[in-house]
Amino acid sequence: MSDIGHATPETPHKYRPIAPPRPTMWPLEMRVLGEGAALAAAWPALDRAPNGDGHGVIVVPGFSTDDNSTVPLRRYIRNRGYHTRGWRNGRNDGPTQANLDAIVDNAKELADKTGEKVSLVGWSLGGCLVREAARENPDLVRGVITMGSPFQDVRANSISIMWNLLASKDRIEDKERTEALGAPIPVPATAIFSNTDAVVAGDACRERPGGKRESIQVFASHFGLGVNPLVYFAIADRLAQKKGTWKHFEPPALMKRLYEVHS
pLDDT, tens digit (0-9, with 9 covering 90-100), for 49-97: 999 999 999 999 999 999 999 999 999 999 999 999 999 999 998 888 9
Predicted structure pTM score: 0.91
Using 50, 70 and 90 to split pLDDT, how confident is the model at 4?
A: very low
| pLDDT in the model for residue 6 | 43
C-alpha span between 253 and 224 (Å, rounded): 24
| pLDDT in the model for residue 40 | 95
Q: List the chain domain ranges.
A: 44-190+207-241
What does the DSSP assignment read for 31-77? GHHHHHHHHHHHHHHHTTSPP--S-EEEEE--TT--GGGGHHHHHHH
pLDDT-above-70 percentage for the chain: 89
The mean pLDDT value for 189-216 works out to: 97
Q: Residues 31, 35, 38, 40: is their CA dihedral positive or negative?
A: negative
CB atoms within 10 A of CB 159: 18
CATH architecture of 44-190+207-241: 3-Layer(aba) Sandwich (3.40)
Helix (H, G, I), strand (E, B) or coil at 151: coil
pLDDT at 18 over 80: yes
